[in-house]
Amino acid sequence: MKENLSNYLRKYLELLGLLCRGCLGSNDYLKKVWCDLVRSEVELMIKNLDQGHQKDVIRSLKLILECSIQSSYLYLKHGGNTDKILNELKRRDKLGTSFNMSMISRIPNLNPRIKKEIIRAYLDVSTYVHPTIKLIMNCEGRTIPLQPLICRSLDIATYLACRLCGREITANIKNLVSELGFERCAKYLRIT
C-alpha cells in the first residue's frame, strides 16, 4: 500500500507541475504557495510515507488543505494582488490567524454544498492531528485511513487550485485529474 500511495503522490506532483507551469506559476503569491510550499509538502509526504510516519503524512496533508483554502480566499478577495495578499498575511500572522475555518465560508462564488464538503474533508484530516475524542479514546490501536484521506484532500485542494486557473486548464491536467480519481475536481472541469 505504501508503494501505491507513494506512486499516487508522485503522479500528483506531475499534476502540480503542470499547474505551476501554467496559471499557478504566473502569480508570485500562488507560485510561492503552490509551486514551492505545497510541492515540498507533497515531497515530504512521500518520504514520511516510505518511512511509515503516518502522522507526519497527515500533518502535511492538513497544511496542503490550509494552503489551498487560504490561497483561494486571499487570491479571490484581493483580485490576485500579491502586495495586498502579503499585507493581509502579515497582519494575520501578528494575530495568529493566518488560517481559520471561516475562510472556507468566505471563498466567493463557492456553492454551499461544496463548502460543506471542504469543511468535512478538513475536519476528517484534523481528527488525526488534534486531541479529538476519537484520537483520545482510540490511542492504542488506531489506524489512519491514509488512502481515502489523501485522495479526498488532494481532490479538494486541486479543485480549489483549478478554480483559480479558470479556463487555463489543459487536456493534460484534465487527464491527470481523471487518472488520480479526483471526483470533485473532475465535476468542476466538466462544466468549465
C-alpha distance from residue 43 to each of 48, 56, 101, 103, 125 (Å)? 9, 12, 26, 26, 18
Measured CA to CA, the distance from residue 24 to residue 17 in angstroms comes to 9
* Domain around 152: 2-191
* pLDDT tens-digit map of 157-172: 999 999 999 888 999 9
Read off the DSSP letter of residue 50: H
Of the pLDDT bands very low, low, confident and very high (cuts 50, 70, 90), residue 13 is very high
Of the pLDDT bands very low, low, confident and very high (cuts 50, 70, 90), residue 138 is low
Query: 129: helix, coil or strand?
Result: coil
Q: Please state, as a whole number, how many other Cβ atoms lie within 10 Å of the Cβ of residue 52.
A: 9
Q: List phi, psi (to 5°) of 20.
A: -75, -35
* pLDDT tens-digit map of 39-95: 999 999 999 999 999 989 999 999 999 999 999 999 999 999 999 999 999 999 998
Judge residue 167's burial from the number of C-beta atoms within 10 Å of its C-beta, 0-12 exposed, 13-18 middle, 19 or more buried: exposed
Whether the model pTM is above 0.85? yes
**15 in Cβ contact with 182 (< 8 Å):** no
Domain tally, the chain: 1
